[in-house]
Amino acid sequence: MATDYYAVLGVRRDASQDEIKKAFRRLARELHPDVNPDPKTQERFKEINAAYEVLSDPQKKQVYDLGGDPLSANGGGAGGFGAGGFGNFSDIMDAFFGTASQRGPRSRTRRGQDAMIRLEIDLSEAAFGTTKDIQVDTAVVCNTCSGEGAAPGTSAQTCDMCRGRGEVSQVTRSFLGQVMTSRPCPQCQGFGTVVPTPCPECAGDGRIRSRRTLTVKIPAGVDNGTRIQLAGEGEVGPGGGPPGDLYVEIHELPHAVFQRRGDDLHCTVTIPMTAAALGTKCPLETLDGLEEIDIRPGTQSGQSVPLHGRGITHLRGGGRGDLIVHVEVTTPSKLDAEQERLLREFSKLRGEERPLGQFQPGQQGLFSRLKDAFNGR
């Protein structure tokens, strides 16, 4: 068989219907034209749709697994089962048990596909939630024919070949004798009705492409990759069928100051060596407004100051994460003569100043540590 539908969806041949459905939905979200308009991607999207149409239909899947062509008019492809020319599994059952299957006509109305769009929001919107208006290009019911597919003033008519049954029967001879088989009607493709005059607006599909504006409520605490489901806002199905769902995938834009780790925020403030030694208050613009960070005397570079409850709102459950302020202490790279004299006096007052090389481990003084910093040690 030319196309391996299982390989197209990336599933095993013994995959369950649930696994097939999950694989299709995952690929559809990645390859949907609303997400990726690249022509090659659109061809790939058509391939997974064709594969899912076969593998999600038990009868078509049986035909395919037995080597037939599930998309041909008679469902049997080359009729590769010998003299009887059996087209599908139900034909084999008819041959052995003498019962003709009564599948009935197929419905022109089918559920529409799900759709997905990407929405960019900033950190503050993710932290507290927001409401966004989005524009969506999807299939909607054709206003000209109201989804019927027939031109105004006309309607679908019962197929005169199958008389509305959607299938035709024929008698063939095999080694078992005469066998009656049923196949989809080639004139109406199994629908049981034909549309003599298709709607000029939708070409008989019952739907057209249209741009709509939707209002989406973004809950507080969403993160990159969070998907919000809007039931019934996806593509309208063929024949004006019920619409699928629309998924809005969140993409959080980088922030100039804060880095997000889960529901906690992290940032870095830089203070001079004297401020770290004496202590200070450092202003910081948080998501909640301007706040003063209390830097205690003796703060070392690399220490952090937590601000509890100043992070991202928890998506599930109450409360918020924390804001962690990391302190970076800078050492002056150049000193004038007066600054160096004052530092030497300060070092002597603390009893830290000794000739270089005479410090025991753990006893190196302030001024010598500065010298090491200046020399890159």
Enclosing H/E stretch for 249 = strand 246-252
Instruction: Give the Cβ contact number of residue 69 at 10 Å.
Output: 21
Cα dihedral 22, 28, 29, 30, rounded to 10, equals: 110
DSSP letters of 133-154?
A: EEEEEEEEE-TTTTTS-BPTT-
Report the C-alpha gap between 123 and 119 in whole angstroms. Answer: 13
Distances (CA, A) of 65 to 48, 62, 162, 184, 314: 17, 5, 28, 19, 48
Radius of gyration of the chain (CA): 36
User: Chain-centre distance of CA 79, in angstroms?
Assistant: 41
Alpha helix positions (H), the chain: 5-9, 17-31, 39-55, 58-65, 89-97, 123-128, 273-278, 337-349, 366-374
Binding annotation for Zn(2+): 142, 145, 159, 162, 185, 188, 199, 202
Report the C-alpha gap between 312 and 63 in whole angstroms. Answer: 53
Look up residue 293 and give its amino acid: I
Report the C-alpha gap between 283 and 267 in whole angstroms. Answer: 13
- As a whole number of angstroms, the longest Cα–Cα distance in the chain is 117
Which of 108, 200, 201 has its CA nearest to residue 156?
A: 108
Whether the CB-CB separation of 111 and 244 falls below 8 Å is answered with: yes
Cα dihedral 68, 72, 74, 79, rounded to 10, equals: -30
DSSP, res 23: H
Binding annotation: 142, 145, 159, 162, 185, 188, 199, 202
Alpha helix positions (H), 146-280: 273-278
